Structures are given as structure tokens and as C-alpha cells.
Chain A
Amino acid sequence: MADSTAEFFRELGRRGHEPLLEKAVGIVRFDLVEGKRTDRWLVTLDKGDVSVSRKNVAADCVVRGERALFDAMARGDVSGMAAYLRGELTLEGDPELLVLVQRVLPGPATRRARRTRTRGGSGQR
């Protein structure tokens, strides 16, 4: 199975600037748990400038969950907020960062391509 989480983070890192994350300043660490193993992704946010790495450093917000759950979220099959409310996703640190980061998660795959824009993107400056 494709590693959709890795794909998601790599793509996020390539964006360079993401207007949806302009309100965020801080480091969010994602801990992906699989058995005894924990994989880490580190997302550094600075007013819309996004960089992604695998370093293990102190973060302002740590989001922890099963690897399969992260894969499902990255595919758009599972809502990050609902997973958080269920307790499948746990959080340490600043919760506002999680609210901001979940904005870049995709929606359900079946509907993603349904609409095409007739005019420019939303909120382009």
C-alpha cells in the first residue's frame, strides 16, 4: 500500500507557502505509532511558510496516533477533528495549531474533483 502520509507531508513541504496556514507560527510534530515503532514528521510553520522534516526536536504541539489513522486522514477518508474527538488522535501542547493544520487535509476523495472553478482561486492575493 502506498505511504499516503509520507506523500502528504512531502507535498506539503513542496508548497513552500500555504495561505491557509498564515495564522500559524510554531512547530507541530506528528508521531505515527505502529507497534513499538514511532515515526516522526516535523512541520515548521511561519506565517504561511511551511517546511517539513524528520528531525526529532522540541515542538509546540505533538499530535499522536496510529500510522493507519494518519494514512486514512492523508487520503481524506477520515476527519482529523472527529478522530480527535474520539480520542484516536491525542494532542499535547497548543491545540490551535492542530485546528490550523487540519485545514490542509483533503476532503473525501470521491468528491474532490467534482467541482472545477470557473474563476480564479479563492482568496488569491
Chain B
Amino acid sequence: MSDDLVKILDGNTFVVSDGRGDIEASLTDPTGLFSSDTRFLSKWVLTVDGQRLNSLSVDNLQYFETRFFLVPGTGTVYVDAKLSVIRQRAVGDGFREELTILNHDNTPVDLKVRVEAASDFADLFEVKDALEKKGKYTSRIEDGKLLLAYERETFKRSTVISATSPARIDENGLTFDVRLEPHGEWTTQIDVAATVPAVGKRSGGSARKRRRKNMEGNLERWLADAPRLECDWEPLRTTYRRSLVDLAALRFSPSITPGKSLPAAGLPWFMTMFGRDSIFTSLQALPFTPELAATTLRTLGLWQGTRIDDFRDEDPGRILHEMRYGEMTAFEERPHSPYYGCADATALYVVLLDEYERWTGDKKLVRELEYEARAALNWIDEYADLTGNGYVSYRRRNEKTGLENQCWKDSWDSISYRDGRLPAFPRATCELQGYAYDAKLRGARLAREIWKDPKLADELEKQAADLKRRFNRDFWVESDAYFALALDADGNQVDALSSNNGHLLWSGIVEKSKAKAVVRHLMGPRLFSGWGIRTLAEGEGRFNPIGYHVGTVWPFDNSFIAWGLRRYGFKQEAAQIAAGILNAAAFFDGRLPEAFGGYEQAETKYPVQYPTACSPQAWSTGAPLLLLRTILGLEPIGNHLVVDPALPSGIGALALLDIPGRWGRVDAFARGEIDLNRRRELQPQLGAPGQVAARRR
């Protein structure tokens, strides 16, 4: 997706247009007005007297609102424009566009203003995979409104377009006959409503206006409620604010459970509920906006699997992978109603529940979700061990449309041996064992302290200790001293060196005696690029610096690795990762993409964005938040928040004020080292701790 496109969003409704505000979508490109995974407008083109407009500037007012300043004329030279056109658009159950035309001339002018509209009602899956439609289209005029509709059996979707000024409406759009006096002004409001009859009723005009007011107030409250950041390294302040605003934008209220919101995964492909992404993002944001975690836990619990269903890869106790509302899901051409094919979210669900209680002290929710948490723990033992060797593994049962790789590295070639061969299924990737270990220990704490079930607690702790012992034996690549990426179907090591080693530190499954060797690999030249840790080490058979999961650097991945490094006492290394990722964020104006190229930092000087990465993307948005937690060394212990900072060099002073939690609100302060000689640089970059001292020597 090209970056000059303008995107505004609210929950799972979003508009992607060109810099003029126009939409001319082909089947395969993700421009248009989308809602509930369906495209409601694929064409939206404004002309004045038959002429297209030129963009002078675009103001992104809010994440849900933008303003385009335009002038007529399609050439590269538009000297002395006599007209200005302002298009202001806000999203929310469709969108509303205020169109204003100004006459700068001393003579009156008559104009024909035209908006062409059409919709292909494509399912987002069809846009992604370029598939054909099966239903019927109609376009008609009803009560002075243009109605575009699509129908396939009982499945109905429609777009209703209306304007506040008199318009001539035909099946392809609206025409306004406008007379402008000298220095006069004309304005109209065009309302585009995306209606899904089955999934809730659309609110009327005044209700939408109220909603919009709420959205503005809501964003202000959201920002005011989050901890305040003070820092002498300016890019971090920018990144922090960007993260909070993007997280607000990505909040998603599933249309069947309105009024509650959790983080959706990312624009444009993944504006929906994802088990794994929602959990990781909630973990990253816990010290800042703990309410996201509460909603994530409640909502994913509500949808927890209850039966065995091969089409959806569903089992009792399994946490969902992805939920969709579009046509292909409705007709079961895709299994996302919801789809359960992921092998990590279920253990991570228990991890989040425990971490949430440690921060907030909300025992009530832990009691409320006892059934779900127990069912999740039970899934690990009863359904996830596919080969009977005591490890969590995965193999899809839906062989047509299910996911092959059910771990976070879910592309087809992500799991490989050193020589590049791909293993057979089931595959037991290493981080899944770490998550299971962590879930058992955290589940044990909840069982002992909150559910008052010491027997279960003892049993879980015993299982965890056994898992750790076996794991450190079976996954350890003795010759090179790191953990294998996975075990294959026969229990042999899939021996490529990968970033997954870092997740193992986060989960605590690594024996203390092995940690140093693991960290040496993570920070070594094959994995560490200078910006961050690559998904796959340089030199492995499938390594490619711009391969989705086989060489790129993922900010989310790195944020959890940094947390893992801290867990094992590697403060300096954690700060070095934070430095790399936060430096990269500064290149993207504070908005980290999903992934960037795994090129050596010295080679490119700037981070190269992965070509089709989602942006904003929830767990990239959350990465700077978790990195802040990590460099401040924030850790809830009992009713207190422990602060134990280790900052990258380049930050002299860092304060995070009003951190919410079971302690009420507390402040964290940290001081670091800055190099006064480097102050004059245009864009000073952060470095590993100790660098300043080294340079001075």
C-alpha cells in the first residue's frame, strides 16, 4: 500500500483515498470506504465543470477526520486559480463529507459540481485475493437519496448517499448546480451511510453528530488518562504521543458486542479482532491503558471455543485467531466466524490475565474469568499436544482455507531448518513451549491466590518444572548453544537460529546457565542489525532481509525480547534494543511500521519499510510503550511499582508521571548519560548504554 494514500478510521470502518480525497479502486487495491470487512464505496470522484481537482494540501485533523484543500485543473501548472475547494471528511458508520467552494473572483460564476459514486461491495478477502462476486447489484434513487445495494440470498449490504443541498441524483452519482457570487461561498454536506441490516441498525443523523462529539471528547480523555511523559530526547515524546493516538484509533468495538473496545490488529487488512495481536498489544499497553486488557480478556473469553469444529480449527478452550464479518465468512467460503487456528493465543490469554491482575489488582475479573482461564489451561494439555510428546504443536484440520503456520510467524516459509528445508506437520515451535510454561506458572499463582485451589496450583507448577527441564534438553542446539526454532513431526530439531530465542527469555523457560549464550546470539551480528533483532539470522538458508518472517526486524518482536532481556538481568542489552527501535521510530515520525528490512544499520542509515506492511499496526504501536516500561524497569511487586531504570545513551532525563495501577498513580524518574559533543547534530540518535563513556576515553 502506497504511503501517499490518505487513511482515516474509526473502529472497523475506514476510508482510504488519494491525496485529492478521490477513490477509484480496482478489485485488488485496498482503497475505498470499508466497514465490517466490506467495501461500501469503490468509486468516489469529485469534479467541477467536468474537471478533476488538484491537491494543495491535506490536513489530518484527527485519526477519524481529514481536510483536503483543492483547486480545479489537472495540469501541473494551475496559475491564478479562481476557485478553492475544501473537502472535509469524517468517518463513523460510513462517512460525512463537507464540501465547500470559494469564488476568489470579482465576477459571479456558475458551476456544475459532480460526485461520481459506485460500490463493488467486495469482501476484504476478495480484495486481498482478487476474487469474483456472486450476488446482484442494484443502484436506484429513493426518497431523494442514491441507494447502492448488493444482494446474495439473505445477505444484503447497501450504501445510502444523501446531501443537504438540492442535487440532481442519477444512478451514478450526484450533480449540484451552483451559482457563486463574487467572493461567494457554497457549501453542502454529503452523507454516506454503510448499512448492514443483520449487524445492528445504523444510527440517525443527530445521533451520529453526538457520536462525533463523543469521539473528540473520547480522544482527549484517552490522552489525559494516560501517563504523562517528560523526556529531553524530543523524538521519544513524538513517538509516545503518536502511539497513544494510534492506539485510540485502532480501538475496535466488535459490532456484535458494542460499547466495549479492544485493539484491532492493523490497517488496512486487519481491522478486526485478532486473538494474538489483541493480547500482545494489551500486554504492551498495560502500564498505560490497562482497560484495553480487561476488554480483550472479556471479549476473547466470550468467544472462547466450546466444540470441535474442523472447518474453524476450533476446540473447547481455544482462544480465537481472527473474526470476520464479510460475505465470504457469512457463506462459509472462509472459516472466520470466528477462526481458531492459532496455537499461542490460548496460553497468552492466561499470561495476560495474570499480568493484568499484577498491575491492576482487579481480582474480580480474575474470578469472573476463572472458567475461561481453566478451560485455556486445559486446552494446552488436552488439545494442543498433537504428537503426544508433551509439547504444544500445530497442524491445521481445515486443509483448504485454514492457516498452515499457527504461530506469530504465520507466513508459509517462516519455519525452516538451517539448510532452508521446511519441516512436516505437526510443528512444535519453541516460543509456544515458553508461553505454555509461563501460562502454567501464572495460572498456578491465580489458582493459589485467587481461586483458592492449591491442588491445581501445585499440579501446574509441577507440570511447568517438568516442561522446562525437558525443553532445555530437547530444543537446545548443543553445537552452537541456542534454542532450535521448532521440533518437527518426528521430534527432531528444526535448527535455524531465530529471534524466537528472545521470546523464550520473556517467558522465563530458559535455564539460567544457558541465558548468556542465548543473549550472545541475540546481540551478535547474525541477528542484531543495529536497528533491532532480525526474525531469522543472517546466514540461514532462507534468510532474506526483506522476507516477511525470515530476516526483517519486527518492532513488536523486539519489544518482547527487550522485556525478556530485562527478566534475565541483561539491562544494557535491553536498552540497546530500545535505542535501535526508538531510533527507527523517529524515521517514521513516531509511527513504527509492522516490520522493516533486516539490513545492517551501517549499510542503509535509515530503516527500510517492509513493502506491504500494515500501518498503523497495533503491536507496532504498542512496541514503544513496552520499551518504555523496559528501560524504566517498571515491575509491579505486591502493591508497589518498582522502578529500576537503564536508559539508552542520549536520554539525559526521562519521567513517566501518573502510572495507573493497584498503587493508585505513581511517577517514575530516570537519569541517563548524554554526550554534549553530539548535541549539535540535527537528529541525535540514541545509543547503547556506556557508549558515551567509551567515546570519551
Docked-complex contact B316 and A84, CB < 8 angstroms: no
Please give me the residue from chain B that is nearest to A86 by CB atom: B330
- B490 at interface, CB cutoff 8 A: no
CA distance A123 to B301 in the complex (A): 13
- B637 at interface, CB cutoff 8 A: no
Docked-complex contact A122 and B309, CB < 8 angstroms: no
Docked-complex contact A86 and B308, CB < 8 angstroms: no
CA distance A23 to B374 in the complex (A): 15
CA distance A79 to B199 in the complex (A): 16
Q: Using Cβ atoms and an 8 Å threshold, which residues of chain A touch B479?
A: none
Check A87/B308 contact, CB under 8 A, given A79-B332, A82-B332.
no
CA distance A37 to B616 in the complex (A): 51
Q: Using Cβ atoms and an 8 Å threshold, which residues of chain B touch A81?
A: 337-338
Docked-complex contact B256 and A96, CB < 8 angstroms: yes
Q: Using Cβ atoms and an 8 Å threshold, which residues of chain B touch A13?
A: none
Please give me the residue from chain A that is nearest to B381 by CB atom: A119
CA distance A96 to B95 in the complex (A): 27
Docked-complex contact A100 and B337, CB < 8 angstroms: no
A91-125 toward B: CB 8 Å interface, digit per residue (1/0)? 10001101110011111100110110111001111
Q: Using Cβ atoms and an 8 Å threshold, which residues of chain A touch B238?
A: none
- B153 at interface, CB cutoff 8 A: yes
Main secondary structure of the interface of B (DSSP, over half): loop
Q: How far is the CB of B125 from the nearest CB of chain A, in Å?
A: 13
- A90 at interface, CB cutoff 8 A: yes
- A88 at interface, CB cutoff 8 A: yes
Q: How far is the CB of A84 from the nearest CB of chain B, in Å?
A: 6
Docked-complex contact A95 and B258, CB < 8 angstroms: yes
CA distance A108 to B331 in the complex (A): 16
Q: How far is the CB of A113 from the nearest CB of chain B, in Å?
A: 9
Of the four ranges (under 10, 10 to 19, 20 to 34, 35 or more), the interface on chain B belongs to 35 or more
Please give me the residue from chain B that is nearest to A81 by CB atom: B337
Docked-complex contact A115 and B308, CB < 8 angstroms: yes
Contact of B198 among A85, A99, A114 (CB under 8 A): A85
Docked-complex contact B330 and A125, CB < 8 angstroms: no
CA distance A99 to B125 in the complex (A): 24
CA distance A114 to B309 in the complex (A): 11
Docked-complex contact A86 and B154, CB < 8 angstroms: yes
Please give me the residue from chain A that is nearest to B153 by CB atom: A86
Docked-complex contact A23 and B302, CB < 8 angstroms: yes
Please give me the residue from chain A that is nearest to B151 by CB atom: A87
- A26 at interface, CB cutoff 8 A: no
- A60 at interface, CB cutoff 8 A: no
- A20 at interface, CB cutoff 8 A: yes
- B307 at interface, CB cutoff 8 A: yes
Q: Using Cβ atoms and an 8 Å threshold, which residues of chain A touch B200?
A: 95
Q: Using Cβ atoms and an 8 Å threshold, which residues of chain B touch A87?
A: 154-156, 197-198, 330
Q: Which of B330-356 contact A (CB under 8 A)?
A: 330-332, 337-338
Check A104/B306 contact, CB under 8 A, given A85-B198, A90-B198.
yes
- A19 at interface, CB cutoff 8 A: yes
Docked-complex contact A86 and B258, CB < 8 angstroms: no
Q: Using Cβ atoms and an 8 Å threshold, which residues of chain B touch A99?
A: 256-257, 302-303
Q: How far is the CB of A52 from the nearest CB of chain B, in Å?
A: 19
Q: Using Cβ atoms and an 8 Å threshold, which residues of chain A touch B153?
A: 86, 88
Q: How far is the CB of B85 from the nearest CB of chain A, in Å?
A: 39
Q: Using Cβ atoms and an 8 Å threshold, which residues of chain B touch A125?
A: 370-371, 374
Docked-complex contact A108 and B310, CB < 8 angstroms: yes
Q: A20-B371, A82-B329, A123-B371 are in contact. List 10 more A-B contacts (CB 8 A).
A: A20-B306, A81-B338, A85-B329, A87-B155, A87-B197, A88-B153, A95-B258, A96-B257, A99-B256, A111-B309
Please give the residue numbers on chain B whose beta carbons come within 8 Å of chain A beta carbons, in ascending order: 153-156, 197-200, 256-258, 301-304, 306-312, 314, 316-317, 325, 329-332, 337-338, 368, 370-372, 374-375, 378-379, 381-383
Closest 5 CB pairs of A and B: A107-B307, A85-B330, A123-B374, A87-B154, A87-B198
12 contacts between A and B (CB under 8 A): A20-B371, A85-B199, A87-B154, A95-B257, A96-B257, A96-B302, A99-B303, A107-B314, A111-B310, A115-B383, A122-B378, A123-B372
